[in-house]
Chain A
């Protein structure tokens, strides 16, 4: 293998919670960062309800409405990576309902009191204790007592109304349906590199400096009260709007500040729905990207391609 000038990326984690991950990815190109972002959103497998058999439904919402809502409920999918897709499962003769490739849920609720009954994701009974609807409690300690673990609302029932159904959850990826996406949001931004021209900055009065600092919609700069100098307080708050640059030109001082995004330094923010932990989601994404590359490599130089295309196949693959 001839040496190619590729660099190896570095990672530094800024913030890590169960459902939130913020880190810096350095020494790589935007196309790699984007590929990772795309895989996290669209190709990391999770579990979601895919088939609903309704036995009784006298609620105000119709059957398919409720089935649609059930599909969108996030389920804890830590075992999704090891599970098989239903279509690939040999245990169940293509039925797609056996224990190896699917999880069964039941819901059976009837409203008997005068008050409106909220049917929530807590009423879904799972056949596997590892795969349950994600608990939608926030992490704010003040809210905890007030909300008391209510779960995701599916439908509301009046006295006499009933909902009874069976649901099958299967493994899938968001390319097939967005309900299978484990990510709430995944974003990355170029890390900004801000240079203030100190000489030009000296020619501004304190009032002009304040005006210029305030012209930025986000708090990027600040005037140090002791030295009366303009300092960069939060470079990442910069949203690449050119407001401060336009303001500098309007004040007659073009080139007052130079801001550009470093082409190989990215700040990733990954938020998960709770189906998979944020850090685990990123690692799964890398694994998926690898398996895609392995699949391409395997098909490479295969004799089947030669048979299929004959001379064309050999030519297409770069040989003679």
Chain B
């Protein structure tokens, strides 16, 4: 099994926690966790242990999933705002 730890410079819990959550959803992942070594430094360590796939690939897939979620929320939000505004104008 492959295991790797990735260290991000200039990131914080915003990305760390959400990527950890998405990595846990992947069935290939045996263990996943993140930590911020010291709050004064903007570093995040993300640890991934997999059932065989290289950690880099699994991590890349999680990033792509996250991008897909963001796009989906963006378009859903746009259409929801459009619907809301249309409903508001109709009673007039």
Contact = CB atoms under 8 A, between A and B. Distances in A.
Contact of A11 (B60, B64, B65, B77): B77
Nearest to B4: A318
Interface string A13-37: 1001000000101001101101110
Contacts of B64: 1, 297
B22 to A, nearest CB: 7
B31 interface: no
Interface string B7-28: 0100111110110111001111
A143 interface: no
B11 A301 contact: no
Interface stretch (A80-88, A89-97, A121-129, A285-293): A285-293
A9 B4 CA distance: 29
A25 B72 CA distance: 12
A12 interface: yes
Interface in B23-80: 25-28, 48, 54-74, 76-78, 80
Given A6-B22, A6-B25, A16-B81, A293 B56 contact: no
A297 B60 contact: yes
How would you classify the secondary structure of chain B's contact residues: helix, strand, loop or mixed?
helix
B25 A35 contact: no
B61 A23 contact: no
Given A316-B5, A318-B56, A2 B27 contact: yes
B8 A28 contact: no
Contact of A31 (B8, B21, B27): B21
Contacts of B25: 4-6
A157 interface: no
Given A294-B67, A316-B4, A13 B81 contact: yes
Contact of B69 (A8, A38, A279): A8
Contacts of A29: 21
A25 B13 CA distance: 20
Interface string A218-235: 000000000000000000
Contacts, number: 128
Nearest to A38: B14
Nearest to B18: A35
Given A13-B81, A286-B70, A316-B4, A4 B27 contact: yes
Interface in A287-320: 287, 289-290, 292-294, 296-297, 300-301, 315-319
A29 B8 CA distance: 22
B61 A290 contact: no
A42 B11 CA distance: 12
B90 interface: no
A237 interface: no
Contact of A9 (B6, B8, B11, B72): B72
B85 A318 contact: no
A39 interface: yes
Contacts of B15: 35, 289, 292-293, 296
Interface string A264-297: 0000000000000001001100110110111011
Given A13-B84, A23-B77, A35-B17, 13 more contacts: A1-B61, A3-B27, A11-B76, A34-B13, A42-B14, A286-B77, A289-B14, A289-B15, A294-B67, A296-B63, A301-B60, A315-B4, A316-B4
6 contacts: A13-B81, A29-B21, A34-B18, A283-B78, A286-B70, A300-B60
Interface of A: 1-6, 8-13, 16, 23, 25, 28-29, 31-32, 34-36, 38-39, 42-43, 279, 282-283, 286-287, 289-290, 292-294, 296-297, 300-301, 315-319
Interface of B: 2-6, 8, 11-15, 17-18, 20-22, 25-28, 48, 54-74, 76-78, 80-81, 83-85
